[in-house]
Chain A
Amino acid sequence: MAVREKKVRKYKDSDEKITARSLITPFVFSLPFMIGLLIFTVYPFIRAVLLSFMEDYRFLSGKFSGYGLGNYTAIFSDPNFINALKSTTKYVLIVVPTSLVISILVAVGLNNVKKLQGLFQTAYFLPMVTSATAVGMIFRWLYDYDYGLFNYFIGFLGIDKIHWLADVKYTMASICIYGIWSMLPFTIILLLAGLQNIDPIYYTAARADGAKSKDIFFNITIPLLAPTIILTSIVNVMSAFKVYDSLFVLYGAKPGPAFNLYTVIYYLYDQFWNKNKLGYAAASAMILFVIIALFTLLQNLITRKTNYYN
């Protein structure tokens, strides 16, 4: 009896009482990471929150006139910030759904042709590992008026050539195409993982129930993939709201060819580095933070609803 009790205790160590002593080891192990987190995430975050409320903050002296909502009222009356919010939202609404639809089709295709998966893995990983500078060069060439591939293709469709990067009318289109392209690999990989988690028995059952490929796609694949679809779209919404790299890559760190397309992060960068308005930069960061926090909440609510298994 005594022996048996000993054994039982051995397997139940997760139930052990938490004491100050038992916490030392995990604490020591996590300390380096904790310190990093404090210095590089928590502290800057608190500083940024405070900064966004400091009025007339001077970077060099560190002096400011007092706490208040001045920075917020200022950026909301700045047409560039409003432009940035609008363009960013529009960008999110175009890029996220489009890349999602393309990714679902590609992922379902890849999931069906097991043999080609190895080849495609390289192909769709490429955008993820290619440096932004190289990608920028490729895209600038793709968008080239005379020799670019995009104009070559629309030439086939009988459409006139477009000044992709020079014409302000096409700034949004250009950064959206770039955005969709760069979003694909991550999205496809996540969706493919989600698809591989679907038990193929449901497809067999549906076939036996008389379903054709189209019925299976809409009635089985999409609903069972829904948790992954929701997860990826929320992650993509959050990352799309933070768009600014395309402006650097395509327009050489300018917000569009004629300073016509600000994004929230670009606005933040501009206020910080070029205009030295640290308070404005912090306030715009806070606005973005609230938007993204709302999406995180939304994600939590929806994922709970799509738990079909236990």
Chain B
Amino acid sequence: MKVTIKDLTKKFASRDKTGEMVTAVDTLSAEFESGKLIALLGPSGCGKSTMLNMLSGILPVTSGKIYFDDVDVTDLSPDKREVGLVFQNYALYPHMTVLENICFPLKIKKVPKAERIEKAVEIAKMVHIEDYLKRLPKELSGGQQQRVAIARALVKKPKLLLLDEPLSNLDAKLRVEMREEIRRIQRESGVTTVFVTHDQEEATSISDYILLMKLGVMQQFSATREIYNNPGNLFVADFIGNPTINQIHGTYTADGIKADGCDELIPCAIKANEGDRVVFAVRPEAVIFENEKNTVNATVNDLYSSGKDWLVNFMIGDTDLRGYCDADFNVSEGSKIKVGFKEKGAFLFNEATGERY
């Protein structure tokens, strides 16, 4: 099912009783393609849960519209929207067994008992929880509870699956395992899925599209690879990618960027206005360690082994930067080296507005 959001806005009366309104989601428009997995990404408090709860119908919208396959569902209650919702702490009903939990949405729909058990078992098999049907939630591990929560959300064959930070209560190893599971389950069921997370790595590893938010405002909505390769503004470039993107503050000149605390000009193929304050942002993998032209002097601070490469921490002027070099590149702490930057993976932003040139 295709989901279209138009100028969606949610305002809350501020919690600190000042009577002011907080805009949790600000005139957000986007279109989610059918059958895709969309990650709703952003720092904590940026309005991801608010957005999800408006999609599910739990939270009424302040203004704007939500369409499911071109049908306006903005004012429909959750039971009429055919959405499945998975919570961060799973919210399994503690007094019901796994089977009863999975059956609950069907019981509410008055599906006959035999039929709902059959459907529940089928879904339980899909999420690999069929051996635990008789247990109570308290007798399950976090990962198992998560599987049950997903099964409960999927059993009524929703047109839209919504997951609110479903992995953040799991330990690191299980988190990686479960996100692959969610990906598999999503592929198998083909349900359009919105996955909320504040972890950019989780978002990039699982999703087809990423919608990145900041303070309720959409920063960028594009295919997962695209958002990395082509960030629309400095916030996006900074938020996506690990290690984070290198940022060199300086002043733009036609001959290169005059970086703060550095005498040399850094060559830059991107055009800006003479004298603009800019941020030259370079992905660590776009740093080249070489001795040819277009190179800038730098000093090595530190070296970390990262498998086959070294992660090199170096300084240009006052700026700390990172890049990868081959294991046979002969440097050590304090070495004077020359570095250059590839065009792919290097971006220029306005320092004040964060806008990309």
Q: Does A160 contact B (CB under 8 A)?
A: no
Known A-B contacts A208-B58, A211-B79; the reply to A219 vs B91 at CB < 8 A is: no
The stretch that binds B, out of A33-41, A197-205, A267-275, is A197-205
Those of B93-111 within 8 Å (CB) of chain A: 93-96, 104-105, 107-109
A291 to chain B, nearest CB (A): 30
> Which residues of chain B come closer than 8 Å to A202, judged between CB atoms?
91, 93-94
Docked Cα-Cα span, A209 to B85, in Å, equals 8
By beta carbon, the residue of chain B nearest A210 is: B79
Which A residues from 169 to 211 make CB contacts under 8 A with B? 199, 201-202, 204-211
* Residues B79 and A224 in contact, CB atoms below 8 Å apart: no
The yes or no answer to A308 lying at the interface (CB within 8 A) is yes
Q: Are A223 and B95 in contact (CB under 8 A)?
A: yes
From B85, B89, B109, contact of A208 by CB (8 A): B85
Contact check, B79 vs A204: say whether CB atoms are below 8 A apart: no
Chain B residues with CB under 8 Å of A208's CB are 56, 58, 78, 83-85, 153
Interface size on A, residues (CB 8 A): 22
The listed residue (A201, A211, A212, A215) touching B91 by CB distance below 8 A is A201
Q: How far is the CA of A113 from the CA of B94 in the complex (A)?
A: 25
Q: How far is the CB of A307 from chain B (nearest CB, A)?
A: 9
A310 within 8 A of partner (CB): yes
Complex CA–CA separation, A306 to B138 (angstroms): 12
Q: A309–B94 contact, CB under 8 A? A: yes
Closest to B77 in A: A207
- Cβ of A199: which chain B residues have Cβ within 8 Å of it? 91
Q: How many A-B residue pairs have CB under 8 A?
A: 65
| List of B residues within 8 angstroms of A204 by Cβ | 58, 87, 91
Knowing A308-B138, A310-B138, say if A205 contacts B108 (CB, 8 Å): no
* B58-91 interface code vs A (CB 8 A; 1 in, 0 out): 1000000000000000000111000111010101
Chain B residues contacting A310 (CB-CB under 8 Å) are 138
**Residues on B with beta carbons closer than 8 Å to the beta carbon of A220:** 93
**By the criterion CB–CB under 8 Å, are A205 and B93 in contact?**
yes
CB-based contact B79/A205 at 8 Å: no
Instruction: Report the minimal beta-carbon distance from B219 to chain A, rounded to whole angstroms.
Output: 28
Residues of B contacting A207 in the complex (Cβ-Cβ under 8 angstroms): 58, 77-79
Q: Which of B123-155 contact A (CB under 8 A)?
A: 136-138, 152-153
The size of the chain B interface, using a CB distance under 8 A, is 26
Do the beta carbons of A209 and B152 come within 8 Å of each other?
yes
Given contacts A208-B83, A210-B156, A219-B104, contact A224 B89 (CB under 8 A): no
Interface flag for A226 (CB, 8 Å):
yes
Contact across chains for A209 and B95 when beta carbons are under 8 A apart: no
Known contacts A210-B108, A308-B138; A205 and B87 CB within 8 A of each other: yes
- A309 to B137 Cα, complex, angstroms: 9
Interface contact B104-A209, CB-CB below 8 Å? yes
Residue of A nearest to B83 (CB): A208
Q: Using Cβ atoms and an 8 Å threshold, which residues of chain B touch A223?
A: 95-96
Contact mask A223-234 → B, CB, 8 Å, 1/0?
A: 110100000000
> What's the nearest-Cβ distance from chain B to residue A273, in Å?
49
CB distance from B152 to the nearest CB of A (A): 7
Determine whether the beta carbon of B138 is less than 8 Å from that of A210.
no
Give the Cβ gap from B95 to chain A, nearest Cβ, in Å.
4
A209: which of B94, B108, B136 is its contact (CB, 8 Å)? B108
Which of B94, B105, B153 touches A224 (beta carbons < 8 Å)?
B94
Known: A201-B89, A207-B78, A210-B78. A224 touches B109 (CB 8 A): no
- Closest Cβ of chain A to B149, distance in Å, is 9
In the assembled complex, the Cα of A207 lies from the Cα of B59 at a distance in Å of: 11
Complex Cα distance A99/B309, Å?
Answer: 74
Residues of B within 8 A of A212 (CB): 79, 108
Interchain CB contact (< 8 A) of B105 among A210, A306, A308: A210
Most interface-central of B79, B87, B89 (chain A CB within 10 A): B79
Q: How far is the CB of B88 from chain A (nearest CB, A)?
A: 9
Task: Give Cα A306 to B109, complex, Å.
Answer: 27
Q: Would you call B85 and A205 a contact (CB within 8 A)? A: yes
In whole angstroms, what is the CA distance A202 to B95 when docked? 11
Against B, the Cβ 8 Å flags (1 = close, 0 = not) of A274-308 are 00000000000000000000000000000000101
Could you say which residues of chain B place their CB within 8 Å of the CB of A224?
Answer: 94-95
Q: Which chain A residue has the least Cβ–Cβ distance from B137?
A: A308
Chain B residues positioned under 8 Å from A205 (CB to CB): 85, 87, 91, 93
**Identity of the chain B residue whose Cβ is nearest the Cβ of A306 in the assembled complex:** B95
The residues of A that contact B78 with a CB separation of less than 8 Å are 207-208, 210
Q: A206 CA to B91 CA in the complex, in Å?
A: 9
A210 touches B109 (CB 8 A): yes
Smallest beta-carbon distance B292→chain A, Å: 57
Report the nearest A residue to B107, measured CB to CB: A219
Q: A40 to nearest B CB, angstroms? A: 41
User: Do A211 and B108 touch (CB < 8 A)?
Assistant: yes
Q: CA separation between A23 and B299, bound complex, in Å?
A: 69
What is the CA–CA distance of A223 and B137 in the complex, to the nearest angstrom? Answer: 15
CB-CB nearest in chain A for B56: A208
Hey, what's the 0/1 contact readout for B38-62 against A, CB within 8 Å counting as 1? 0000000000000000001010000
Chain A residues in 8 Å Cβ range of B93 = 202, 205-206, 219-220
The residues of B that contact A308 with a CB separation of less than 8 Å are: 94-95, 136-138
- On chain B, the residues within 8 Å of A206 by CB distance are 93, 104, 108
Closest 3 interchain pairs by CB? A210-B79, A208-B85, A308-B94
Interface contacts beyond A208-B153, A210-B156: sample of 19 additional A-B pairs, CB < 8 Å, sorted by A: A201-B89, A202-B93, A202-B94, A205-B91, A207-B77, A208-B56, A208-B83, A208-B85, A209-B152, A210-B79, A210-B105, A211-B79, A211-B104, A212-B79, A212-B108, A215-B108, A308-B136, A308-B137, A309-B94
29 of the cross-chain contacts (CB-CB < 8 Å) are: A199-B91, A201-B87, A201-B89, A202-B91, A202-B93, A204-B58, A205-B85, A205-B87, A205-B91, A205-B93, A206-B93, A207-B78, A207-B79, A208-B56, A209-B108, A209-B156, A210-B156, A211-B79, A212-B79, A219-B93, A219-B104, A219-B107, A220-B93, A223-B96, A226-B95, A306-B95, A308-B136, A308-B138, A309-B94
